[in-house]
A and B are shown apart, each in its own frame.
Chain A
Amino acid sequence: MRHTATPSAAAAALLAAAVLLLPSAPAPAGDAAWLPRPALGQGEKCVADTDWMRRNHMVALTHQRDATVRDGIRTERFSLKGCIDCHAVKGADGKPATAANPAHFCRVCHDYVAVRVDCFDCHASRPEADAAGGRQAAIGRYLGRPAQ
């Protein structure tokens, strides 16, 4: 992670404040069109109340991450992989979009509040089944050569 705790906390607070404004999706008629509407998950309901998730998802993810990496606690709830799998958004090619696509579940709100997350510097931003070839393509773009 490349930011310190202080900007992270500030970003979290900013995000928490900003997402309070977000409507539930699907938006009720007459809601402001300029508010971001992140994609609904594929399941029946989220792992926690929508209001709670808006305010606290970053805390839950950070807590879960330390428990998993350091202590080997691998529970389904609040796993980033779970969010990615459930909230996959289809891109122009019909496959789930990566975080490079502004329609990505995380980016819809994070772009709106101008909070950059670095989760996807390391973590996959779409479900594994759809990821074939993506890693090599990314390296190829970086190295300026076609994907092998």
Chain B
Amino acid sequence: MSCGSKCGSGCGDGATCGSGGARGDAADTARRAFLRGVAAAVTTLAVGVTLYSFGTEPAAARAPVVPGAKVSAKTRWGLLIDAAKCGDGCTACVAACRKENGWGDAGRPATDAQWIRKLTVRNPRNGAAFALPMMCQHCADPPCVDVCPTGASFKRADGIVLVDKHTCIGCRYCMMACPYKARSFIHEPLEDQKPHAPRGKGTVESCTLCVHRVDEGRIPACVEACSDAAGGAMLFGDLNDPSSEIAKRVAAYRTTRIRADLGCDPGVYYRNI
């Protein structure tokens, strides 16, 4: 968190600390206007066409995809997740991820792959609780990459952290290094994987931020499912682009990154946790 050194843990954003209600009201109004825009876009467009175009200005949401181009470090893909809108019993994001990427079939909960999971965090003293989805946080300084002995665990230029299964030897150091328990190991031989999400016995895997969709100019399956069926708690976008909705919201609201104190600089931001 950018303000972590200035205002200590617990303060989400230095710019908004103690800034009073007036600013909050203005931001609230902007947020409502934005949500109206999203609602209109979602209801009027065919699925998968320009759903990634958040807000009322679709053209400003994202640069067009250039086929065959290398991913660029100018982009930093990230997520903003509002726990207040994340329903306690809702697992739409998890179901969408499973369907999209074809994981979680083996029925062995102790070892089954888990690219994304829903957590309910409860304060035992007062009972206060909130739910949130937890997945690979796509750190800028990922510990999984630091410890990988073969270079299989790597970060793409645009900030997406992946496992190159062609070089993964299945040692699982990355699983131990990850502070978020985001990675899984495949124990069973598989067949008929999703063509866009190869998975195989003896390799480690985790959330890819739906890299195959992102490269096509679409949004991750979890974000799409959340906006369609559930509370619209998830927002995907380019954190490096000041005109993107996610960057605006991260700048405007108090956000938290889980275990920001570890200094991994995660790309997944949370609100209301």
Contact = CB atoms under 8 A, between A and B. Distances in A.
Contact of A123 (B157, B198, B201, B216): B198
B193 to A, nearest CB: 5
A100 B189 CA distance: 12
User: A1, A100, A148: which has the most chain B beta carbons within 10 Å?
Assistant: A1
Nearest to A67: B70
Interface string B161-178: 010111101000000000
Interface in A107-148: 121-128, 131-139, 142-143, 148
A72 interface: yes
Interface residues of B, number: 39
A57 interface: no
Contacts of A139: 105-106, 188-190
A119 to B, nearest CB: 9
A143 B106 CA distance: 9
A39 to B, nearest CB: 19
B69 interface: yes
Given A2-B202, A148-B107, A128 B195 contact: yes
Nearest to B214: A72
Contacts of B164: 69-70
Interface in A81-95: 81, 84
A96 B162 CA distance: 30
B198 A122 contact: yes
Interface of B: 67-71, 102, 105-108, 154, 156-158, 162, 164-167, 169, 188-196, 198-203, 211-212, 215-216
Interface of A: 1-2, 65-66, 69-75, 81, 84, 98, 100, 121-128, 131-139, 142-143, 148
Given A70-B156, A81-B196, 4 more contacts: A69-B166, A72-B215, A135-B102, A136-B105
7 contacts: A71-B70, A73-B69, A100-B191, A122-B198, A123-B193, A131-B192, A134-B191
